[in-house]
Structures are given as structure tokens and as C-alpha cells.
Amino acid sequence: MSGKVINLAEYTAQVFQIPAQNATESTASIDPMELHARNYRTIQAQIKALEEQQDLIKAEMIAEMDARQAEEVRAGEYTIRYKLVESNRVDTAALKAAGIYDQYTKKSTAIRFTVS
């Protein structure tokens, strides 16, 4: 949605791709939050399916790069890289073992949104 306020029938018609006049009849007794939750879960499932497809394509690309023995490949307008990257991280286990971990931690708070 583009931020525009629409009525429940229009929303239902967009989400479930049914004509607006039928949407009013078939969803009039459904709580709008239930419609939102249903749409949210449907989109979640679609995202998961797309991520699975993405993983398959990525695996094919990595296999091709391995076959070419290349860390970087130019493919038209794209540059594809698959190489080792190093990073430095704090060894929290060592800090805990030394007894100083708690001195250097701070609590953070977040708001979690779930639909189950």
C-alpha cells in the first residue's frame, strides 16, 4: 500500500485480488486486524519461497565461480564476488572466563513484532 487510507472492501480486494463488491460481502464480519495478519503471513510465506529460490541461484553461481576458480566475475552490468573476508570480533568467552565480561556489557531494549 502507498500510505493512502482505503476502506476495508478496497483493502480486501487488493490483498485477496477479488472484486470490491464481493469483498464487502465476504469479509464484512472479519476483523481488519485479522485481514492484516492473514496478508502479513501470506507475504511471509512468499518471502520464504523467494529466499529459497535465491539460495538455489546463489549456489549455482558459487558452483560456477568455483569451476572457473574465480573470486570475481563480470557478467554484463554485474560484478559477482565470492571471496574470503576476515573480521575481528570480541571473544566474549575469554572475557567471561577472565571475570570482566559484565563490566563491559550494557543492556539494550527492543520492541519485537510477531504474528503467530
Q: Are 38 and 32 in contact (CB under 8 A)?
A: no
- Global pTM reads 0.63
Instruction: Using the predicted structure, report yes or no on whether residue 8 has a pLDDT greater than 90.
Output: no
Residues comprising the chain, all counted:
116
Comparison of pLDDT for 70 and 20, the residue scoring more: 70
3-state secondary structure the chain: CCCCCCCHHHHHHHHHCCCHHHHHHHHCCCCHHHHHHHHHHHHHHHHHHHHHHHHHHHHHHHHHHHHHCCCEEEECCEEEECCCCCCCCCCHHHHHHCCCHHHHCCCCCCCCCCCC
Task: Provide the pLDDT for residue 15.
Answer: 66
Task: Provide the pLDDT for residue 58.
Answer: 96
User: Could you report the per-residue pLDDT of 11-58, keeping only the tens digit for each?
Assistant: 666 666 655 554 554 556 778 899 899 999 999 999 999 999 999 999
| Burial (CB count <10 Å: 0-12, 13-18, 19+), residue 70 | middle
Residue 2 pLDDT grade (very low, low, confident, very high; cuts 50, 70, 90): very low
What nine digits make up the cell of 52? 529459497
Nearest-angstrom CA–CA distance, 13 and 18: 5
Share the mean pLDDT of the chain.
85
